[in-house]
Structure 1
Amino acid sequence: MSESIDTLVVGAGQAGIAASAHLSRHAIPHLVLEKDRVAESWRTRRWDSLVANGPAWHDCFPGMRFPTSGPDAFPDKEEVATALETFAQTHSAPIRTGVDVKLLKRATGRSGFVVETSQGVFQAENVISATGAFQHPVFPSLIPESAGVVQMHSASYRNPDQLADGAVLVVGAGSSGGQIADELQRAGRKVYLCVGPHDRPPRAYRGRDYCWWLGVLGLWDIPAKAPGTEHVTISVSGARGGETVDFRWLAHRGMTLLGRASGYQDGRLLLDDDLRDNLAAGDANYLDMLAQADAYIAKFGLDLPEEPEAHLLPDDPVCVTDPIRELDLAEAGISTVLWATGYRQDFSWINLPDAFDATGAPLHQRGVSPEPGLYYLGLPWQSRRGSTFIWGVWHDAAYVADQIEIQRNYREYRPASA
């Protein structure tokens, strides 16, 4: 026995919920399958103190409400999950939880797909992969197990009390790595932080959050990263009401900044001599945003308060002027290495070789696969810079649902009789 449905959505996170709302707008019969709970990633796959990196007024679906936060606040992860679940209920999203999708393959002799799951087989004309961008942690094998330190990915980190006594080395200075390193230092830990290439926009400038600035400057809608910046992370924080990140301030409070980790030998972590360059590139990104904002204010005559102090950068700490090139883990008292090194996607359940390039990345145009009937949501830079944000996936889901409706109309067309 199998179930038949026009469109099957895999995943009930923000992407799957957005897909359902837009499919319902077109009255397209559909079903959303989720192996865990609705918005599970927000609930259990992030650290305890995580808050949204965008303010509530911006990082939401239309009509979405957060239970306790005001529009300018940064909701915590539980509040975000609750808001997503409530939105799905309000829109009567047909979600079936506890169903693990095992395999997607092309149906034989007809259009559509066969989808094998832990709860049986489904026949679907269309499938939307809404599993997002964060399936499997990237865990470098740089430091061997014999090094005598506990190694974990940021996906497994919950709070400082979880870690053994001793100093902590955090590798990766994107939003996750920077916020976790700051939390550990505030908890009294000695922290070493490897800082690679990064962007670090101002949290707010001249009375407007950076999400607003990216919007009015048209930067959310950039369709692709500039060449050579594909792996540059963004360091921004909504913690404690929202803060502009500057790693030098963390160093002045006791953190030791390091260049990128590049090797390991005889108990010593080998480090690139790129720390100053990486900080300078982050400064350039920060100052460029201020300059663009100032130009916009001047051009349109906005009455926004001047903020000259935002242009002042702190002095370089000793760890920047005299960078460490080798770190003896034992001598530094490091008991835990925390890898904030991102995630990789997993589409192994899709048995359609022509849907992927030579590296295994999905082929698509704004989420539309060259395999008829297959679609994606939640991919980084799927259509624009904001595609992995809650508000961004809403717009991508509208486009994908529109394409499904267009194809349905073609399939249902019958020539008028003579």
Structure 2
Amino acid sequence: MTQSEKSVPVIVVGGGQAGLSMSWYLCQEKVEHIVFEAKTACHSWDDERWDNFCLVTPNWQCALPGHPYKGKDPHGFMVKQEIIDYVKGFVESFNPPLREHTAVTSITRHEDGAYRVAAGGDVWRAQHVVIASGAYQDAVIPGYASAIDSSIYQVHSQDYRNAAQLPKGAVLVVGSGQSGAQIVEDLFLEKRKVHLCVGSAPRVSRFYRGRDVVDWLADMRFYDLTVDNHPLRDGARDKTNHYVTGRNGGHDLDLRLFAKEGVGLHGTLDTIGEDVAHFLPDLKENLDEADKTNSDIKKSIDAYIAREGVDAPMEAPYVPLWEPDANNAPLDLKAAGVTSIVWCIGFRPNYRWIDVPVFNGANKPVWRRGVTDAPGFYFLGLPWLHTWGSGRFSGVSRDAAWLASQITGKDIPVA
């Protein structure tokens, strides 16, 4: 260690719920460590969510270590400020060694096996490093967006706040995953004319046979399914989340109902040239596949109910409320009165600051339950790191406890 270096046994990169969960277990075990956060502990919930954002999973699944949900509505869905308060309450519950506004700019591994972490103008030496910065760093916007007429306002979903933020006129929402489908509803409820480019995202019903679908799936131990036992194995990590909402107590997001009530549905966006949007001829296929996924989930619940002899009310099969015609006409944005585009096509991870051999040929990190082949180097908080809940409030505690056990060499139970 050079004179200018500082030393700490463990460094955690990222002060969101994953990094904070890691810190909680390390604090319990009295392991000296530092959590570096480029912004603030709640910034992703505060700065990257729209005003009417709420959880799509019920409150009872909020189970950060030592800090379960204790409110009066376990089967409700926390809204944005409640989520922020929940995370802040977690921070206050154990006072982690958190250094906010301190970005990590590089990590290297030296011949002696230690990691050198540059953060906030200092260089730190650590034997263990946990990357808990998430997988949603770089917002995806296609290259051709720069050629769209500047009179059409463009915003990514992470920067969308509310309908009033957009100029008057129709809105084109690109992408029908969780964010896209919920933003369409947000705009529609504000009486905006909306066009939606429908991709391959699946959907799920909010309630079925008298209960929230999440409650059924929890009883069926779906959330304990590990990625190694998932039918898609590692491919599960690339699947888009099902669209549904917890808004106003929770309900289905049925794109066919949107269409019936006036939302313009189109297939996957192919490109926009000369301010004309061109779509793939896959609208019917995408709607049908989303409905099939929902139907398959219901069938699995039906089988569980029958197998376990559960007394649950019957429910009639879903009947599509609307069918698209064969028209796949392009959309002239200006002729249609479109003055805004909301890009809801996701994010790319950014690990360019990590110079450690833990990535495959596609520059994706390789791990098993968060543990990489580089001794003492770990990932936490990523989708399907180990189970469905790995990137969420519901399962990150289990993953953090596991990694804490790898660091300490002790068997640490999940809090």
TM over 0.5: yes
Task: Please name the residue that 2:251 is paired with.
Answer: 243
Task: Please name the residue that 2:11 is paired with.
Answer: 8
Give the 3 Å change call, closer, same or farther, for CA 13–178 of structure 1 in structure 2. Answer: same
Task: Please name the residue that 2:122 is paired with.
Answer: 120
Relative to the length of structure 1, the TM-score reads: 0.91
SS class of match (1:84): helix
Task: Please name the residue that 1:93 is paired with.
Answer: 96
2:180 to 177, 185, 189: 177
Alignment of 1:33-48 (within 5 A): 33-48=36-51
2:268 to 260, 270, 277: 260
Distance 2:395 2:196 in 1: 30
Alignment of 1:1-80 (within 5 A): 1-64=4-67, 70-80=73-83
The residue type paired with residue 338 of structure 1 is V
The residue type paired with residue 263 of structure 1 is T
Question: Does the CA contact (< 8 Å) of 1:164 and 1:335 recur in 2?
Answer: yes
Give the 3 Å change call, closer, same or farther, for CA 338–390 of structure 1 in structure 2. Answer: same
Give the 3 Å change call, closer, same or farther, for CA 407–62 of structure 1 in structure 2. Answer: closer
| Alpha-carbon shift at residue 162 of structure 1 (Å) | 0.3
Distance 1:107 1:338 in 2: 44
Distance 1:225 1:232 in 2: 15
Question: Does the CA contact (< 8 Å) of 1:171 and 1:177 recur in 2?
Answer: yes
| Alpha-carbon shift at residue 184 of structure 1 (Å) | 0.5
Q: Deviations over 1:135-159 (max 9, x none)?
A: 1111112444343422211111000
2:344 to 334, 340, 349: 340
The residue type paired with residue 313 of structure 1 is V
Answer with 394-403 or 25-34: which moved more. 25-34
1:159 to 162, 167, 172: 162
Distance 1:27 1:226 in 2: 39
Task: Please name the residue that 2:136 is paired with.
Answer: 134
Give the share of equivalent positions with the same residue, in percent.
34
Q: CA RMSD in A?
A: 2.1
Distance 1:390 1:169 in 2: 31
The residue type paired with residue 397 of structure 2 is W
Aligned pairs, number: 402
Q: Deviations over 1:160-202 (max 9, x none)?
A: 0000111000000011000001111111110000111121111
Question: Does the CA contact (< 8 Å) of 2:148 and 2:274 recur in 1?
Answer: no
Question: Does the CA contact (< 8 Å) of 1:170 and 1:181 recur in 2?
Answer: yes
| Alpha-carbon shift at residue 388 of structure 1 (Å) | 1.3
Distance 2:42 2:19 in 1: 9
The residue type paired with residue 301 of structure 1 is G
Give the 3 Å change call, closer, same or farther, for CA 101–46 of structure 1 in structure 2. Answer: same
| Alpha-carbon shift at residue 257 of structure 1 (Å) | 0.7
| Alpha-carbon shift at residue 64 of structure 1 (Å) | 2.5
Answer with 375-384 or 336-345: which moved more. 375-384
Task: Please name the residue that 1:316 is paired with.
Answer: 322
Question: Does the CA contact (< 8 Å) of 1:260 and 1:275 recur in 2?
Answer: yes
Structure 1 unaligned spans of 5+ = 409-418
Is 1:226 matched with 2:232? yes
Task: Please name the residue that 2:212 is paired with.
Answer: 209
Distance 1:36 1:406 in 2: 32
Question: Does the CA contact (< 8 Å) of 1:197 and 1:233 recur in 2?
Answer: no
Question: Does the CA contact (< 8 Å) of 1:61 and 1:394 recur in 2?
Answer: yes
Distance 1:380 1:67 in 2: 25
Q: Deviations over 1:194-222 (max 9, x none)?
A: 11112111112123222222222233224
Alignment of 1:377-388 (within 5 A): 377-388=380-391
SS class of match (1:390): coil
Answer with 155-164 or 83-92: which moved more. 83-92
| Alpha-carbon shift at residue 250 of structure 1 (Å) | 0.8
Q: Deviations over 1:351-407 (max 9, x none)?
A: 12x211122111211111111111011112211222211112221112111111229
Distance 1:127 1:62 in 2: 20
Q: Deviations over 1:251-270 (max 9, x none)?
A: 11110111001123333211
Task: Please name the residue that 1:403 is paired with.
Answer: 406
| Alpha-carbon shift at residue 280 of structure 1 (Å) | 0.7
Q: Deviations over 1:36-85 (max 9, x none)?
A: 11121011111111011111111332542558662111111221122122
Question: Does the CA contact (< 8 Å) of 1:100 and 1:119 recur in 2?
Answer: no
Alignment of 1:281-360 (within 5 A): 281-308=289-316, 311-317=317-323, 320-352=324-356, 354-360=357-363
Distance 2:163 2:9 in 1: 47
Distance 1:239 1:70 in 2: 14
Question: Does the CA contact (< 8 Å) of 1:200 and 1:236 recur in 2?
Answer: yes
SS class of match (1:57): helix
Question: Does the CA contact (< 8 Å) of 1:67 and 1:83 recur in 2?
Answer: no
SS class of match (1:304): coil
Task: Please name the residue that 1:145 is paired with.
Answer: 147
The residue type paired with residue 28 of structure 1 is V
Q: Deviations over 1:309-354 (max 9, x none)?
A: xx2223324xx124433111111111111110111111112112x2
Structure 2 unaligned spans of 5+ = none
Question: Does the CA contact (< 8 Å) of 1:56 and 1:69 recur in 2?
Answer: no
